[in-house]
Amino acid sequence: MAEVFGDTKPQADYLLLTPGRKEIASQIMNRSMRGLRTRYWHNGNTSAWIMEEIGKELPITIGVVINDNRIQQVKILAFRESRGWEVRYPSFTAQYADVKITEDFHLDTHIDGITGATLSVRAVTKVAALALYYHQQAFQKPEE
């Protein structure tokens, strides 16, 4: 959090996972989603999301920072698999910078894969799309 927000302390908050949000999140992740809410941190138009997704067999802990509905940074916080570790490199995660989500909940930019790390790349890409969707939901203006 200090790397993202500096000396400014972000506000911790949570997004309620309504049935409609769960349905879209399940579509993005290609699996059913559980839970009632998800935690995030924010300051101004910037939010930080820490999520886990299974690569091949074990969870990958991924941090995604969103600013004004675009990815500012993706960082692999914990990688537990024996293969696919190349997704940790900044040269890979830099591809996500400035990416946004389309109306059908896909990333608007092609992400180059890594030979031998297909499942890890898919996990990071799905989490990035989910973080963008959650950010939109958390920051949407209430209808009047």
pLDDT confidence tier of residue 25, bands split at 50, 70 and 90: very high
Q: Once rounded to an integer, what is the mean pLDDT over residues 54-63? A: 95
- Give 61-115 pLDDT, tens digit per residue: 999 999 999 999 999 999 999 889 999 999 999 999 999 999 999 999 999 999 8
Secondary structure in 3-state letters for the chain: CHHHHCCCCCEEEEEECCHHHHHHHHHHHCCCCCCCEEEEEEECCEEEEEEEEECCCCEEEEEEEEECCEEEEEEEEEECCCCCHHHHCHHHHHHHCCCCECCCCCECCCCCCCCCCHHHHHHHHHHHHHHHHHHHHHHCCCCC
Q: Please write the tens of the pLDDT for every residue from 130-139.
A: 999 999 999 9
- Give this prediction's pTM: 0.94
Q: What pLDDT shows up at residue 141?
A: 67
Residue 142 has pLDDT above 80, yes or no: no
Structure confidence at residue 116 as a pLDDT band (50, 70, 90):
confident
Domain ranges of the chain: 2-139
